[in-house]
A and B are shown apart, each in its own frame.
Chain A
């Protein structure tokens, strides 16, 4: 008889394409062939289109809206205004931040681009003509776009609807344009330390307003079936279940009669977390007309009206001993929220996790206060490829470290090293109350400095400086350092919810008789590659090859409840649910295997893809055999089938971290910068798919480059958006994108079932500081302490000019 050799454990493991494999993305076959199915690809019978009349001005009373000419146009079916929505109670809607916002302008407009009327017609052409024919008379009011001027005594009152309310969703309001004050930490203790400190650095750090600008803009198709009373909405939703619950609460349609579907999504980056007037208007229009309604933003709508990010003025003070041991941190942030507080944060955190602003450092005492303010700008405040306000916090501390290093006359790499939380201090509770799960910052930092040959870089920089000073060159070199700690994976239900919905997530698995499987999750990929990576987690847990596992997300009628994908929460929360559901499958499989092998459960051990009788390796049952048995054997005390569901409430956040270094050459006369090197070391805990991690890092770094070097949403004093097209809103092409060197250390999260922390947002968080610090570093020997982003040509030129470097 021939020897049929059983493949080794290693060979069988490799066949699974499980954890740690650079498995190719299963999504790409359809995306690279143009076979994706996005919202705008959805075409339903009898579908009409809707689009907005938007305000051309930033602040005005609406005297009159005349829709007659538009309604008279052939092809236009309806024009909705606030007056039409009011009887339904839908002219305003609640925001995620406990405020409310106008769906359609109710008597006044508060920002340029605000939705004033919704025109419904046969096709986009008829609708565009209809939009042009709606006549709106505006009575303009004074405009405020500066958050500091918004709180002055004579400032125009923006939100007349709540002008007299002294109490907001997050405590007392001190001015009609004031939204909230949020405090964290020890105020008195911090002030005392600052007063007595040997060295204090004091700086205002502005993180400008920008926008996630995904390739696909926001949109939806709403279809109300009047026969069965069921509303189906296909939309660009990063959190489909939350949208279903919110839609039910504000429309009074029972939740079981609402089906939300997120089809393929062309990038989200936080832009698609919020609920926008377009969704509400499309739903109402579908109810009114009885046919499906499609609404899809154009690029200018997207940049002007949906979900900006950042716009934080962060005043900081950091104290240290003369030797460079940090003793305290103080921060006051003025947060410009625009016309409505539509910030997408967990409910109890009006400034998100800004209190991660102590960063990677062991700072004994700290205090943070954030004041939210209304201005005549678009609402939003989303987490643009970062967890809630984490990139602001990280940028703040990484600038403060640089400013402190200047004050101390110390190399900032050394200052960081001196103050990192030490490996043995984990789990570490920060001065502002977070429990960091794990990390080895010194290992990462040393590895990074060695990889770039930091000492040599500083020597090269000094040589270039000499050339500059002697008039032989007009270029300077800057070395940008950044060490970041994120807080992601929101989050534990005890303190994280959105509108009362706990931020757990879920996975449901069904094993088919022939040993393949389908898994459904409460998250939704927008390019992250969930169908690839979650199948890998399962492959390792249940011993079925990743290629035999279908991943499905985004349909609330089939997927288990979850809070969606943003804030790097999918892997920390839904990834954990996936592993836990897999373990339930395995537990039942063990019972089935024991019955089949006629041994006790405890006599079996798991070996990659099978249960083996301890001490008798020739006796085993593979997962494939067990799956079939679960469908055809009557096993006493065991239900047929092999399914499991797990709802995972994470015990803690995860804390990915990393060390990024950028080298930049700057022409002081033209303001043009050239990126010479970008090195990015990430520690995201257990690495599920190294290739996807690398792709995430490349993408996030490119967004970080854009933000720090030119991307902004700018307003003039009249509240006009100056960056409403991609001519002026910087999105890098391959040409502007430098080469990236990626690296890693691996410190698993101790509380996550597979030790993974999430990585999608790290490069944006760490990258912005690295790029911006490089610009600052180039000019530091001439006395520059702080220059606000974005560092586009003219602003860099202005730094040089103000330092007297021009002839």
Chain B
């Protein structure tokens, strides 16, 4: 469990980091919290020649809340997401979801940027960011650009990020309405068997807006647009939530692993999604 040799860089600005990435192309990788990257390096499943540590770049850190607009630096750790009271007041679903990621030791180092940029379908943050309709800001040799979280993921570990780009921040508007992030896992530290995030905005029993996203139920996060349109403008009741659940499960496409076969995962997805929908509705 020893990685192959690599050169280690610790730049103090985004420009310097981008310039190293430009020099080495796909031989270079940035490292944030390292919880996904280091194990695959140690197992020599990936061969990285140039490793760029982003931890010294101050401008990548911090949570900025201005009115209803929230911007989170890519190197903000999960423990900061949990403990920031203003963030909890404006987007409480983030704390609820973050507390279900791994364990406290991992969350002390794990970052939001690493979690969303790696493209691992088992990570919780990509689904959460699709739920919040977040926008990712990327910095590369050709300057800055923005990509919607709902358009960022092409497949497991394949994203819209170019080899010379670094994800620098994530922004979204404060969600309105009830929320829930529900996850079933085998043990502390495990990835989801199935997880779902829900936001429901309900006025006088009528759903004015909704968002639903799933984690680890396909090779990318799943944004459940069909269920969302099914709910929007309708009177919410148990029956409609069941139909929406069914639609979400149909959009999922899990694979079998040690957590269980596909049939089981789809069944549990239905339970988890329905629980999330009901809790979000109760909170709306």
Which of A's residues lie within 8 Å of B, judged by CB? 124-125, 127-129, 132, 298-300, 669-672, 710, 714, 722-723, 727-728, 730, 732-733, 735-736, 792-794, 797-798, 801, 806
Contact = CB atoms under 8 A, between A and B. Distances in A.
A733 B259 contact: no
Nearest to B191: A727
B258 A798 contact: no
Interface of B: 1-2, 4-5, 43-44, 103, 184, 186-191, 193, 258-261, 264, 267-268, 271-272
A797 B190 CA distance: 19
Contacts of B271: 669-670
A730 B5 CA distance: 31
A710 B1 contact: no
Nearest to B264: A794
B51 to A, nearest CB: 15
A793 B258 contact: no
Contacts of A669: 267-268, 271
A793 B187 contact: no
B187 A730 contact: yes
A483 B259 CA distance: 32
A710 B186 contact: yes
14 contacts: A127-B2, A128-B2, A670-B184, A714-B258, A727-B191, A728-B258, A730-B186, A732-B187, A735-B187, A792-B186, A793-B184, A793-B193, A793-B260, A794-B260
B204 to A, nearest CB: 30
B56 to A, nearest CB: 25
Given A710-B186, A723-B258, A797 B267 contact: yes
Contacts of A733: 103, 187-189
A397 B2 CA distance: 46
Sorted nearest first, the 6 A-B pairs with minimum C-beta distance are A794-B260, A128-B2, A298-B1, A728-B258, A735-B188, A794-B264
A128 B2 CA distance: 6
Given A669-B267, A714-B258, A806-B267, A132 B4 contact: yes
A124 B2 contact: yes
Contacts of B2: 124-125, 127-128
Contact of B264 (A710, A735, A798): A798
A281 B150 CA distance: 54
B44 A300 contact: no
Contacts of A299: 1
Contacts of A128: 2, 4, 44
Contacts of B1: 298-300
A670 B187 CA distance: 14
A439 B68 CA distance: 72
A102 B260 CA distance: 35
A732 B187 CA distance: 8
A229 B279 CA distance: 73
B117 to A, nearest CB: 21
Contacts of B261: 794
A298 B190 CA distance: 21
Contacts of A792: 186, 260
Contacts of A793: 184, 186, 193, 259-260, 264, 268
Contact of B259 (A132, A735, A736, A794): A794
Given A125-B2, A129-B5, A728-B258, A672 B264 contact: no
Nearest to A129: B4
Contacts of B103: 733, 735
B273 to A, nearest CB: 12
A801 B188 CA distance: 26
A542 to B, nearest CB: 47
Nearest to B190: A727
Give the one of B5, B103, B191, B267 with max A CB within 10 A: B267
Nearest to A729: B258
A806 B271 CA distance: 12
A497 B52 CA distance: 58
A215 to B, nearest CB: 16
Contacts of A727: 189-191
B206 to A, nearest CB: 28
A254 to B, nearest CB: 37
Nearest to B274: A669
Nearest to B43: A300
Given A124-B2, A298-B1, A797 B264 contact: yes
Contacts of A794: 259-261, 264
A325 B1 CA distance: 56
Given A128-B4, A728-B258, A797-B264, 17 more contacts: A298-B1, A299-B1, A669-B267, A670-B184, A672-B184, A710-B187, A723-B258, A727-B189, A730-B187, A733-B103, A733-B189, A736-B187, A792-B260, A793-B259, A794-B259, A794-B260, A794-B261
A124 B4 CA distance: 11
Nearest to B258: A728
Contacts of B268: 669-671, 793, 797
Nearest to A798: B264
A792 B267 CA distance: 15
B150 to A, nearest CB: 28
A39 B53 CA distance: 33
A732 B190 CA distance: 12
Name the residue in A124, A672, A736 with the highest tally of chain B Cβ atoms < 10 Å from its Cβ: A672
A298 B39 CA distance: 13
Contacts of B193: 793
A298 B188 CA distance: 22
A670 B191 CA distance: 16
A798 B268 CA distance: 12
Contacts of A801: 267
Nearest to A125: B2
Contacts of A129: 4-5
Nearest to B188: A735
Nearest to A127: B2
B89 to A, nearest CB: 28
A68 to B, nearest CB: 19
Contacts of A300: 1, 43
